[in-house]
Structure 1
Amino acid sequence: MANPFGKVWLITGNSEFLSDRARRQAVEQIRAAAPEAEVAHAVASSLAPGEFTALTSASLFSTAAAVVLTDLQDLGEAVAAELLQYAAAPSDDTAVILIHGGGAKGKGLLDKLRKLPAVSEVSQQAPKYERDLVAWVRQESRALGRSIDEEGASVLVAAVGSDLRSLAAAVDQLVTTLAEGESLDATVVRRYFGGRAEVRGYEIADAALDGRLDLALERARWAEAARVAPLLITAALASGLRQLARVVTADPGLRDADLAREIGAPPFKIRALRQSARGWNETSLRHALDAVARADLQVKGGSAEPGHAVEQMIIDVAVARSRS
């Protein structure tokens, strides 16, 4: 494994899920190289002049350190100058991970960073069309050590939808569930994700986030009858809540197209997200995310009644929204 220290990762792209996964992988690589490394997290807009320099300075408590800086597009001019100065001659015992949310904002800083030898860019662009989603599913499967044919990937996209988090969870479930030597094809995909193709995780999530509890529970029960994986529902709700959180905390003056670039959602979905966001605030979103995290642990841990865990999650999300 290459030494991660003395380097700067630059993670760019319009997919929150892919960028977050690239960040986790980078942190895992850092911890594997130096388990004692201190990892500091910061949001670009919150950094005052001098703070980035302090974060990357030598520590009295560890010989190695890492800094994760998110929302790079919001970095102030003075701190951007500090970052460029550091990236031109990074410390040998520090690793820096920079995450840019996509879009044109901050492009000047990106261009300057890309010219520096110590900077390695990881571009994470979300698939745009169905054929791209199919190719992405096949690549995801290969990365997990199994191959899926084009028909099987197409069936999976049709059954699960375009949410990458849900698709990744579906591929992971298929790969870990299949017996060794069993082919991953359309027949297998239909076995696990067939039934009511219209019952998708994101539709359940949309109903729950809009406060339509009866509809969300009805769709969840349809999904259970159709053997839709509970993990897909928890993943869809988690993704929807994260997008809502970005809308709730965004500048209300942002145009739909600009906000779409900021949060990595399709432009057509922004109006629906703005409508849903009216029923939420930061506190209620935090409570709802806690409920989804609990259900996700129960589902992944082999809960005896995963269907009950999903229904309780939907109810808890509705309760959180009603208290906003």
Structure 2
Amino acid sequence: MVDIAPTGPQAADTSRFLVEDDRAGIRLDAFVAAASDGALSRSRAQALIADGQVTVDDVTVTVGKRKLVAGEIVAVDIPPPSDPEPLPEPIPLTIVFEDEHLVVIDKPAGLVVHPGPGNWTGTLVNALIHHCGDSLSGVGGVKRPGIVHRLDKDTSGLLVVAKSDAAHQGLADQFAAHGRDGRLSRAYLALVWGVPLRPSGTIDAALGRSTTDRVKRAVVAADRADARHAVTRFNLVKASMLDDGIASLVECVLETGRTHQIRVHMAHIGHPLVGDDVYGAGFRSKSRRLEDDARHVVERFDRQALHAFRLGFVHPVTGEDLAFQADLPADMVELCAAFGISTG
């Protein structure tokens, strides 16, 4: 069989094959399976045919046993695979607060929030579906049920999830305002390289896609087409007592909620997060200035040192003001200690 170069408006989604003399008389389903070079099983080919995804000389054929004639053109349209729906998984969760409308989780580092390419299982959504059962069904969509905001996989800390449509709508509205109306507050603790020149400050710098790596964000000109307004306020909590301020613990408060905002903004002012190999890889060598035990702690720390420690919002159904705090996780406590920073 010969693969025919596709033509016409549907060419991008369709493969076309010429039925050569030696294939005359073959069943359509067998021909389609063979033409795929192993990508399609016989049963999958039959399903595509029954679903109207196969034509012979531009006429849709829905019967797989139809015999082919030499010279006919078979066109196969293979729809892109649909994303699998997340399934319940018994993944342990640290629950800070829960009622019939919402649940607040202290997310550990390493846990992806919702399924996506390369992470279809083992996510927070899988754990929530198992924990909440039918109460989470359909809230905010099948792929991201209940999710109104997210934390990076390697960021730990507080995250609220809606369990009802009313809660989802109310929380989404608060997160869209980013705290400008006083209802929502979010604060993070970050261990950064060096000590900021000022004990507090505001970073007002637009973010957009990096021109060198499409998965990264970068500070960009405010008038660039993809520029998004981004503001981070920071306060120095404690500076390292070692080696003339090799690192410091800072509190960051978001006035906007952009992807990688804290990580990019702190790197922008010369203080990338410890452990952040995306935005601060060049700073890892600074750990050589530490004593061996402390250096080993820093070198084996394998995530950005960022923890969402405070979260406050107005309950979207009851109207109650809720505020939560989550202690630094053990790995960040150990990391701070390696730099001579007490977190007790």
**Shorter-chain-normalised TM-score: which range?**
under 0.3
Who wins on radius of gyration, i.e. which is larger? 2
TM-score, normalisation: structure 2 = 0.23
Larger helix share, 1 or 2: 1
Larger strand share, 1 or 2: 2
